[in-house]
Structure 1
């Protein structure tokens, strides 16, 4: 995720980051500019349409549909941001619950071997969840100082969660923790699987195809018909105007596509790897 100071204006206005939509859209913007120039030339120089032409009245359609497309794009980016923000809240909860579990275990347990076990396993859940959501595939992994093997071709977070609960249950059977303490620990532990399921729901449930495809078609047709109406009033100035409108509308769609799936590798995706590293650091401090 890109870190920045939201109070700085001009530095970001005149700076184009590698993930900026302008860089991605520049070839398309040039094509739209060329297309607008050709339409303006044909209407002004070749066909020489006058003010009585019905083509001039096409702007009425754009005035009406402009309001509709603004509503659709506003809903589109809001729904995408809701998915991004929900993902951030889930990973924030994972960090808090991991620390709460570690704090309780640090007070309850006295055996260093038991503490070392959880010192490795609790951060491993965040790490495995991060790899699971990013579809990172690796081979079998052996944890240091812990006799555990993770099969990376199966559901890795579930395997780590099972190991953590198995260890907690063993501690209960050996009377190292009481029944009341088991109930207290279960709340934080259960939240791990709940967070995993919620993240999988975001990852595996994209915006409906028909809605996304309709917006793309709508923007495409809307922009392509702009030069026909506005060449009468703007002349060749229709070239930069239509190009700018195309940039604004398509940029909103591109931003929505990027943030609606917050667990990938895009510049604006959630820093889940960094969060997992912070969880590891905090757990090691506590335990």
Structure 2
């Protein structure tokens, strides 16, 4: 924003000085109204389309977290562990599969940021044992990299479009095929699920169907985020909106001078800051997967998923009998503080009568609460 605002300030100063000391170039403000309407439509379309892409990216990552949690829970709880050494193999296999689900999220983050290799610190330890194209390609070749150019660095800081590096250059300079790492991780997960089917540790058909459906949903997330990344606003729209916006900003000093005179300069800069700022926000959030401040916090998402997976796998699959028969279990709270043993002595009819009493208690509490709220409103009146 700094460079465009400096240009607008210089332009407004030039026009104001010409109008003051040479010849009055002020024009009717009707043009301001007409152009303002067009610019408003253009910026509204630009911002709404960019925000839609931003929210679509967020929905895909929410779907990824939800599906990953479901798949981890299915594998951890519903995949049986056999006896002896086979049981240890089954347990380590389940842990490895859960780690691969986390690795999918991490690999997708890197793919969406045009980081196609497998050597990154948060990824290498999760997929180092897999045979993938990214793993075979090794680390990127840095011999072609040039020392930082002060002009380029300054241009990037000022937001000059020509100075911003192309994030796809790593893909073009790859010494070997890089494949599609998230898709290859899904293939390994599919092979693991198939192995569970074959060895009989994943017996219930509905769980098998759910596991395959979750893998399919993860594939949908992969293709959907790729669509958001690689389908920007058509260039014709971007150029037209940019041109109309700059015409409007450049015409402001001519239309404001008659009314504001010297105040035209700061007024034009303030208006340009607002208008160009809205346009810049649209440009920035159009790709919601980058490293900018306003982009989606992908690191937070996958770290949250990693913590959730660690919580699920931190204990052996729970056995309902352990907590149902616990002395701390109060089945009919708040009606009774009695535990499992006390209520099991009452028989089925006694338990059902207690359930009916708890329902009546809940209704009575609700009615009492409603009466208190009504009396409180009467006091306020």
Q: Is residue 2:68 matched to residue 1:70?
A: no
Q: Is residue 2:216 matched to residue 1:206?
A: no
| Residues in 2 aligned to 1:127 and 1:274: alpha-carbon distance in whole angstroms | 11
Output one character per residue of 1:58-93: Cα deviation in whole Å (capped at 9) or x when no partner: 321111121121122112111111111111111011
Q: What is the CA-CA distance between 1:207 and the residue it aligns to?
A: 0.8
* Paired residue total: 257
Highest RCO, 1 vs 2 (Cα 8 Å, sep ≥ 6): 1
Give yes or no for contact 2:196–2:202 (8 Å, CA) kept in 1: yes
Q: Is residue 2:19 matched to residue 1:28?
A: no
Residue 164 (structure 1) aligned to one of 189, 192, 202: 189
Q: 1:231/1:241 Cα in 2 relative to 1: closer, same or farther (>3 Å)?
A: same
- Corresponding residue number in structure 1 for 2:267: 241
Write the mapping of 1:188-203 to structure 2, written as runs, cut at 5 A: 188-203=214-229
Q: Could you list the runs of 5+ residues in structure 1 that have no partner in the other structure?
A: 1-24, 50-54
Q: Is residue 2:20 matched to residue 1:40?
A: no
Q: What is the CA-CA distance between 1:149 and the residue it aligns to?
A: 3.0
- Corresponding residue number in structure 1 for 2:64: 94
SS in 1 for 2:71: helix
Worse-matched range after superposition: 200-209 or 69-78: 69-78
TM-score between the two structures when normalised by the length of structure 2 = 0.64
Q: 1:142/1:227 Cα in 2 relative to 1: closer, same or farther (>3 Å)?
A: closer
RMSD between superposed Cα atoms in Å: 1.9
Worse-matched range after superposition: 113-122 or 99-108: 113-122
Residue 199 (structure 2) aligned to one of 171, 174, 184: 174
Write the mapping of 1:1-287 to structure 2, written as runs, cut at 5 A: 25-47=1-23, 49=24, 56-109=26-79, 110=81, 111-139=90-118, 143=125, 147-152=129-134, 153-178=178-203, 179-287=205-313
Output one character per residue of 1:222-259: Cα deviation in whole Å (capped at 9) or x when no partner: 11122122212211110011111111111011100110
Output one character per residue of 1:91-140: Cα deviation in whole Å (capped at 9) or x when no partner: 01100110111111111122312222212211011111111111113356
Q: Which runs of 4+ in 1 moved over 4 A?
A: 139-147
Give yes or no for contact 1:83–1:261 (8 Å, CA) kept in 2: yes
| Residues in 2 aligned to 1:259 and 1:145: alpha-carbon distance in whole angstroms | 30
Give yes or no for contact 2:26–2:258 (8 Å, CA) kept in 1: yes
Output one character per residue of 1:238-283: Cα deviation in whole Å (capped at 9) or x when no partner: 0011111111111011100110100111111111122112212211
Q: What is the CA-CA distance between 1:143 and the residue it aligns to?
A: 4.7
Q: Could you list the runs of 5+ residues in structure 2 that have no partner in the other structure?
A: 82-89, 135-177, 314-381
Give yes or no for contact 1:263–1:269 (8 Å, CA) kept in 2: yes
